[in-house]
Amino acid sequence: NGQGIVALMALNILENFEFKDRNLVSTCHKQIEAMKLAFADGLKYVADPSTMKTSILSLLSKNYAWQRSKEIKLKAMLPTCGKPIGSGTVYLAVADQWGNMVSMIQSNYMGFGSGLVVPHTGISLHNRGHNFSMDANHDNVLAPGKRPYHTIIPGFLTKGHQPVGPFGVMGGFMQPQGHVQVLMNMIDFKHDPQQALDAPRWQWMEGKKVTVEPDFPKTLIHALEKKGHEIVVDTNIGSFGRGQIIFRHPKTGVYMGGTEKRCDGTIAGY
């Protein structure tokens, strides 16, 4: 509950820049702006650890620090607190030398799920019943022995009844939107898995509102607005899904992987 974490958050943010001379105005400016961002988060989220709703690991996440560093501009700003990524879904794709491949998502939905744990296992049960409708006339209405609409969709691509590979873009209602964009990047636009994941994304929110990432092409934003879309640039890139991909070459059997820049994903060979 002390403010030492503020120094750590500021240093994490500053890791995203290169510094050569302490007496340059750009050096001092970035230091000040990083401290302002770190203090904004510290004063918002840091409290007695037993009562904190945001985890220390989330506040000290390198990915979160990278997101915050993008808020530092050429001019001084009035700082606001960020939105650290909390606990959430985990996606993994695995493959072996025999061509066996698995696409898997694990998620308790919100927090620790239902709060119920299978005795003697440590396995928490999910609370995805939250997505039931309470409208008696709705197809997804809450009822005994019924499964709700849910967002878990691990993907697997095939071609001509032959496996190509597992993939997934986790992130709530962004998942099907991420699947569409990533698959089209690879199939229609001939991107490799890493290029497909790195490309800037959009996300439909509701009505005509669509959010886009900060590096989304400005010309496309203006053109979409002319067509009636309400475009909002969202600096929280974690909300645009977090994907992983493994593809197997149909002739050589060589694997190719892609991992996400928006979260702490990685590729590991053996």
SS (H, E, C) the chain: CCCHHHHHHHHHHHCCCCCCCCCCHHHHHHHHHHHHHHHHHHHHHCCCCCCCCCCHHHHCCHHHHHHHHCCCCCCCCCCCCCCCCCCCCEEEEEECCCCCEEEEEECCCCCCCCCCECCCCCCECCCHHHHCECCCCCCCECCCCCCCCCCCCCEEEEECCEEEEEEEEECHHHHHHHHHHHHHHHHCCCCCHHHHHHCCCEEEEECCEEEECCCCCHHHHHHHHHCCCEEEECCCHHHHCEEEEEEECCCCCCEEEECCCCCCCCCCCC
Is residue 77 assigned to a domain?
A: no
Res 124: pLDDT: 83
Res 32: pLDDT: 93
Cα-based torsion angle of the residue sequence 140, 142, 144, 147 in order, rounded to the nearest 10 degrees: 40
- Cβ pair 197, 209 in contact under 8 A: no
Res 227: pLDDT: 95
The reported pTM is 0.70
Do 120 and 216 lie in a common domain? yes
Res 217: pLDDT: 94
What's the domain range around 35?
4-69
Report the candidate in 253, 257, 267, 266 with the shortest Cα–Cα distance to residue 97: 253
Is residue 268 assigned to a domain?
A: no
Residues in the chain with pLDDT < 50?
none
Res 74: pLDDT: 92
Do 140 and 245 lie in a common domain? yes
Report the candidate in 246, 252, 249, 223 with the shortest Cα–Cα distance to residue 101: 246
pLDDT digits (tens, 9 = 90+) for 115-133: 889 999 988 888 888 889 9
Domains held by the chain: number: 2
Do 186 and 103 lie in a common domain? yes
Do 119 and 206 lie in a common domain? yes
Is residue 40 assigned to a domain?
A: yes
Do 25 and 123 lie in a common domain? no
For residue 186, count CB atoms less than 10 angstroms from its CB and return exposed for 0-12, middle for 13-18, buried for 19 or more: buried
pLDDT digits (tens, 9 = 90+) for 177-192: 999 999 999 999 999 9
Do 138 and 56 lie in a common domain? no
Res 96: pLDDT: 94
d(CA 236, CA 253): 37
Res 204: pLDDT: 95
Do 112 and 239 lie in a common domain? yes
Do 124 and 247 lie in a common domain? yes
Res 88: pLDDT: 64
Do 109 and 207 lie in a common domain? yes
The CATH number of whichever domain residue 47 belongs to comes to 1.10.246.130
Is residue 100 assigned to a domain?
A: yes
